[in-house]
Amino acid sequence: MNIFRLAGDMTHLASVLVLLLKIHTIKSCAGVSLKTQELYALVFATRYLDIFTDFISVYNTVMKLIFLGSSFSIVWYIRRHKIVRRSYDKEQDTFRHYFLVLPCLLLALLIHEKFTVKELLWTFSIYLEAVAILPQLVLLQRTRNIDNLTGQYVFLLGAYRSLYILNWIYRYFTERHFVHWITWIAGLVQTLLYADFFYYYFESWKNNVKLQLPA
C-alpha cells in the first residue's frame, strides 16, 4: 500500500463521512443529488461482491463495509428520513441516471477482462463510478451556488480520484503492476470530469467569493 493509495482512500472516506455527517447533523440534504448517491450505492454494491468470497485484508474488508454502509445510509436518509427528505430538491435533481446505467452495462458487456458475472459487474462498477458524479455536477450548475459542504464533498471525491491515478503510476513503476487499460481510461475520464469543478472551486477560494459555477 503506497501513500497515494492510502491518501486516496482516506479522502474518499472523508467525502462520504462529511456528507453523511452533514445530512445527519443539520437534517438537510439541500444541494445533494440523490441520483448521484444512488449511483454510488450501486457502484459499491456491484464492486464489493467479493467481500464474502475473497479476503484481501482487514483494511480492505472494513473499508468496503464502511463505503457500503455510508452510501446506502445517505440514500436512506434522503429517501426515507421524515425531515431530511423534505429538503430534497426533486425538481432540480432530474438527471436521468438510467441513461448512465444502461450504457455502462452495455459497455461492460462489450469491453471486459473476463466474461464472468463477478468480472462483468466489477467492470460495470468501474464505468459507472466514472460518470456517477454527473447528476451532482448538473445539480450544482442548476442551483448556481454551492453550500460549502457539498462543494467539499465534490472536491474530496476529485482529490480521491487524482490520488488513485498517482497510485497507479506509482505501482506501475515500482511493482511492475499495471492497471488494466479499462480502469485507466475510466479513472481518467472520471478525474477529468472534476477538472473544471476544481478550477472554479480554487478560483472562488482564492478570490474568497461564494463558489459560482457558470451556467
Partner 1 sequence: NPKSVAKDEL
Chain residues binding partner 1 by CB under 8 A are 5, 9, 12, 50, 54, 56-57, 60, 63-64, 67, 113, 122, 164, 167-168, 171, 175-180, 182-183
Q: In the complex with partner 1, which residue's Cβ is closer, 138 or 165?
A: 165
- Locate 68 and state its grid cell: 457500503
| Apex 75 CA angle, 70 and 80, nearest 5 | 125
| Apex 129 CA angle, 32 and 11, nearest 5 | 70
Least separation in angstroms between CB 179 and partner 1? 5
Q: In the complex with partner 1, which residue's Cβ is closer, 4 or 155?
A: 4
Least separation in angstroms between CB 196 and partner 1? 26
Amino acid at the residue 8: G
Least separation in angstroms between CB 170 and partner 1? 12
How far is residue 2's CA from residue 35's CA, in Å, rounded to a whole number?
Answer: 32
Least separation in angstroms between CB 76 and partner 1? 22
Q: In the complex with partner 1, which residue's Cβ is closer, 184 or 200?
A: 184
**What is the DSSP secondary-structure string of 97-121?**
THHHHHHHHHHHHHS-SS-SHHHHH
Q: In the complex with partner 1, which residue's Cβ is closer, 61 or 152?
A: 61
Least separation in angstroms between CB 63 and partner 1? 5
Q: In the complex with partner 1, which residue's Cβ is closer, 32 or 186?
A: 186
How far is residue 54's CA from residue 84's CA, in Å, rounded to a whole number?
Answer: 37
83 CB contacts (<8 Å, ≥6 apart)?
A: 27
